[in-house]
Amino acid sequence: MTSPNNLSFVHRFEPGTDPAQPPLLLLHGTGGDESDLLPLGRSLAPGAALLSPRGPVLENGMPRFFRRLAEGVFDEDDVRRRAGDLADFVAEARAAYGIAAPLAVGFSNGANIAAAMLLLRPESLAGAVLLRAMVPLAEPPAADLGGKPVLILSGAADPIVPEESARRLAGQLGRAGAEVEHAVLPAGHGLTQSDVARAEAWMARWRVPATAA
């Protein structure tokens, strides 16, 4: 079994106490770290196992999960590479901690890498909550998401993520077979209590017993 001490990403892990809750993969935004989304994870799924890695790419000293060339312009070769690296880390963590395929909860850059994982390595995730996500790959490969649940929450006044890009992402994931729900909330780029309430309600509808299978 892989040791938690030699996994490929700096991370934090909180064991689960409620077997009815699927494990969560928490993916921070630019400038965040492995502690940022732990409170959100505890709120969304009390008692769930929480796996929270730190993005390995630095942009002016701020951790991210992949490189970008400019605001909203991604290095798609790096997106593909980093999505594969993160999927490999999830496999390592599942072996080390004995958890099921996690549900990703990602914000901004973290949501974008989660979307890329769904499109490139769908076996690594059970589904995703994508907060302020946009299209990570202009021409994604064919993928079979087999009904995986995905919630996309956009902000109507978001100055960073164009609503059209979020709609295109919802279309990409839906065409790949995901069960997608996309909502536009009265918010900007930052998260609000409305995001938390909407995500909690959605997760309650999709909750299934977690297993290590």
| Residues known to be catalytic | 108, 158, 189
Residue 78 to residue 171: CA distance in whole angstroms? 23
Using CB atoms within 10 Å of the CB of residue 141, give its burial: 0 to 12 exposed, 13 to 18 middle, 19+ buried. exposed
Count how many residues are written for the chain.
213
Give, in degrees to the nearest 5, the angle at Cα 132 between 45 and 86. 70
Question: Cα separations (Å) of 156 from 3, 102, 130, 195, 196?
Answer: 43, 28, 15, 12, 16
